Amino acid sequence: MEELKKWRRDLHQIPELGLQEYQTAAYIRHELEIMGYQWEAIVETGTVVYIDCHQKETIAFRSDIDGLAIHEQNQIDFISKYPGYMHACGHDGHMSALLGLAKRIQESHFNFSYNILLIFQPAEESPGAARQVVASGLFEKYHVKAIFGMHLMPFIEEGKIACKKGPLMAMCGEIDVRIQGKGAHAGLPQEGIDSIVIASDAIHQYQSLLTRQVSPFAPVVLNIGSIHGGTARNSVASETVMHGTLRCYDEQLFKDITAKMDAIHFGLEKNYGCQIEWSCPPLYPPVINDEHLYHNFCSLVKKEDFISLKEPFMLAEDFSFYQKEIPGIFFFLGTKCQDYQSGLHTETFNFHEEVLEKAVDLYYTIACHMKGV
């Protein structure tokens, strides 16, 4: 426990953005070397350790390592050393748990049924470096047949393991729309093309699309969270820019919705005489837990610790890129308690390090006893 706490607090103080995690990578690699491991760099700031147990097949465990551009407000003695940056999503805990697994394996004399691959992955928040890890050929090189990942979760009771088979987290895309109208004086609106009115019409049509052209049994979120348009109260706005997100659990549905949004924009251009530039590229696929692997996973979790989730979440995770290649299980470890209730990506997110022992124990149990991969 003392080592878990030290790792977590050391790493918490040095948050770095995706693909810039040089100090974080150096720390992880140093700790692995102390344990006697030889590490391998991947995607520059990523680190992998292959533990050869003289088996034909391998199972992998993954931790993300990047921080966020959030200024920490916690009153703690291990606060982030870098103003404007913090580990607000629990990745410091994820790394510590995986280091804990490495230490547990290093001290173990168990006869493992699979080789083990530890992946300390950069840039989960952005741009999703799991895709680059897959493209590197790592899974083929080490004959990886299944992968496991964990995320701390502040709305689940502390110490509880929460998971579900099938869709767990959403596919996501970032919506960017630029509407170019024509400026005019507010007293002469007929001489302009009001981009704010067009933006309002677009949002209305987006919502009509969801309620009248998508099945009510297909969960979808289309949220416009930012709008900027116009320069003065007495002018017709020549340009309005909108930013939002699209999330669902079906990749074909995502394509269908973006195609319909494109048709909406085409119609608006014809109706108003404006120009619309827009994009919504898919960022991460949906996180979908393999059903067969899920049942095996459930058999290894203590019943009193397990929560079977009824519904998936509209959060997104680049762990999904791994699951497109091989079966995988992604699960949540609860941190909600009296002391810590702030959400992910907030300036006061924090947790009790003791909860990390649950992650190490479960990881080790999976490494020892997972069957039928």
User: What is the pLDDT at residue 258?
Assistant: 98
> pTM for the whole thing?
0.93
Q: Which positions are annotated as active-site residues?
A: 64, 125
User: What is the pLDDT at residue 250?
Assistant: 95
Query: Residue 207 forms beta bridges with which residues?
Result: none
pLDDT, one tens digit per residue, over 268-291 is 999 999 999 999 999 999 999 999
Domain residue limits, the chain: 2-169+286-369, 171-283
With cut-offs at 50, 70 and 90, classify the pLDDT of residue 91. Answer: very high
User: What is the pLDDT at residue 177?
Assistant: 98
- Where b means 16+ CB within 10 Å and e means fewer, 149-167 reads bbbbbbebebbbbbbbbeb
Compute the distance between CA of residue 155 and CA of residue 351 in angstroms, rounded to an integer: 12
pLDDT, one tens digit per residue, over 141-172 is 999 999 999 999 999 999 999 999 999 999 99
CATH of 2-169+286-369, one of 3.20.20.70, 3.40.50.720, 3.40.630.10, 3.40.50.300: 3.40.630.10
Compute the distance between CA of residue 60 and CA of residue 83 in angstroms, rounded to an integer: 34
User: What is the pLDDT at residue 66?
Assistant: 98
Rounded mean pLDDT, 19-34: 98
pLDDT, one tens digit per residue, over 39-87 is 999 999 999 999 999 999 999 999 999 999 999 999 999 999 999 999 9
User: What is the pLDDT at residue 342?
Assistant: 97
CATH node for 171-283 = 3.30.70.360
% of the chain at pLDDT higher than 90 = 98
User: What is the pLDDT at residue 372?
Assistant: 83
Alpha-carbon radius of gyration of the chain: 23
